[in-house]
């Protein structure tokens, strides 16, 4: 695989973290947390802003969940994923992804892969296993390590955005965005994979984000605006579904990035699940920066 090919693969694989948000996917249902006790209980009994403040706190405090969903980023990728993530201190956990369309899937097929990727998120790095076919091009090592500190050096401003998303794309970010927008409405009661949920919707206009309603300080709001701005996001439609325990069970986001239109649908379930993960064996791992240097030396 050429150096440019590995660079493109690295960009796409690190971008996938948006969905664990982002990142950037999750399943319906939940297992912890108490409801808002006003009226009949749960988020349905209070105003949208008050309800979402409780949802943000409960979801943030739950720390972990099973995740599954789908993300489309313009012509770059269509990817499905599932796994378990912990956000008690940044993002850690393991996910399995399948690239089914876009230039990323095409590049993986040309390189001999089938679009399947196993991923591990640790505090300092993201690890990707692209299978046996691509391991043949990395000296037989299955795992590629992408150090978060290296992303800025490799990709500049876009690397800064990806680094932040990989480390901080927690499920409650969508709730915080709606709170900061001030544009939130209750759509109604719906079923999400058999679970009764309250649907909220709003449009996030980056230029109009305000700390008035947000669960964010002035500095946090400034950083949040900068993150969206670097990604080229000006407006974003966000829909969330919340169960009777004030926990997020589904999130849908759509908008426009510098690289094209994006949309994602993510489901959350089994809150509080153990999602610990270890780095792959060093003997089966190659660092992306070393791989880049090796490829560059071979091409010169």
Token pair of 294 as six digits:
């090796």
Contact 114, 134 (CB under 8 A): no
Mean residue pLDDT across the chain: 75
What residues contact 175, with CB distance under 8 A and at least 6 apart?
52, 55, 56, 59, 215, 240, 248
Smallest Cα–Cα separation from 179: which of 135, 141, 221?
221
**Neighbouring C-beta atoms of residue 154, cutoff 10 Å:** 18
168, two tokens: 């901080």
3-state secondary structure of 251: strand
37-75 as b/e: b if 16+ CB within 10 A:
eeeeebbbebebeebbbbbbebbbebbbbbbbbbbbbbe
With 60 as the cut, is the pLDDT of residue 24 above it? Answer: no
Cα dihedral 280, 160, 288, 298, rounded to 10, equals 180
Query: What is the dihedral sign for C-alpha 207, 210, 215, 221?
Result: positive
Domains delineated in the chain: 3-299 (2.50.20.20)
Question: For the chain, how many residues are written?
Answer: 300
**Measured between alpha carbons, how far is 124 from 77 in angstroms, rounded to an integer?**
25
Whether 273 has a pLDDT exceeding 90, the answer reads yes
In 26-178, beta strands by DSSP E: 64-73, 77-86, 92-101, 116-121, 125-129, 143-147
Looking at the DSSP bridge assignments, the partners of residue 199 are: 188, 241
Instruction: Please give the pLDDT value at position 29.
Output: 30
**What does the pLDDT read at residue 111?**
75
Contact 26, 250 (CB under 8 A): yes
> What dihedral angle (degrees, nearest 10) is formed by the CA atoms of 110, 116, 121, 126?
-10
Q: Which of 7-11, 35-39, 128-132 has the highest mean pLDDT?
A: 128-132
Residues 30, 86, 233, CA angle at the centre, nearest 5°?
Answer: 95
pLDDT higher than 90, residue 201:
yes
Tell me which of 63-72, 112-121, 172-181, 198-207 is least confident.
Answer: 172-181
Q: pLDDT class for 205, splitting at 50, 70, 90?
A: confident
Q: What are phi and psi of 7, to 5 degrees?
A: -65, -45
Q: What pLDDT, on the 0 to 100 scale, is given for residue 113? A: 81
Helix, strand or coil for residue 187?
strand
The stretch 225-246 carries a mean pLDDT of 78
Q: What is the DSSP letter of 160?
A: H
Neighbours of 113 (CB within 10 A): 21
Task: Please state, in angstroms and rounded to a whole number, the distance separating the CA atoms of residues 238 and 216.
Answer: 18
């Amino acid at each position: 695989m050429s150096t440019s090919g590995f660079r493109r693969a690295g960009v796409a694989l690190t971008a996938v973290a948006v969905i664990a948000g982002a990142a950037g996917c999750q399943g319906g249902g939940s297992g912890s947390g108490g409801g808002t006790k006003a009226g009949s209980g749960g988020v349905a009994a209070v105003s949208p802003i008050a309800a979402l403040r409780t949802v943000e706190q409960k979801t943030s405090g739950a720390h972990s969940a099973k995740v599954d969903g789908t993300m489309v980023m313009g012509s770059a990728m269509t990817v499905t994923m599932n796994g378990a993530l912990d956000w008690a201190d940044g993002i850690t956990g393991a996910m399995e992804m399948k690239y089914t369309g876009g230039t990323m899937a095409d590049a993986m097929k040309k390189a001999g892969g089938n679009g399947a990727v196993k991923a591990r998120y640790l505090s300092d790095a993201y690890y990707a296993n692209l299978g046996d076919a691509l391991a043949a091009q990395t000296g037989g090592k299955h795992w590629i390590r992408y150090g978060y500190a290296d992303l800025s050096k490799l990709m500049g401003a876009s690397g800064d955005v990806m680094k932040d998303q990989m480390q901080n794309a927690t499920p409650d970010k969508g709730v915080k965005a709606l709170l900061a927008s001030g544009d939130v409405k209750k759509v109604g009661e719906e079923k999400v994979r058999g679970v009764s949920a309250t649907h909220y919707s709003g449009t996030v206009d980056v230029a109009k984000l305000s700390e008035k309603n947000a669960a964010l300080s002035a500095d946090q709001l400034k950083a949040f605006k900068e993150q969206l701005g670097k990604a080229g996001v000006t407006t974003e439609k966000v829909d969330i579904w919340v169960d009777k325990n004030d926990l997020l069970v589904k999130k849908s986001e759509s908008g426009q990035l510098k690289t094209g239109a994006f949309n994602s649908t993510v489901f959350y379930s089994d809150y509080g699940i153990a999602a610990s993960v270890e780095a792959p064996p060093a003997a089966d791992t190659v660092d992306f920066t070393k791989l880049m240097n090796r490829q560059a030396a071979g091409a010169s």
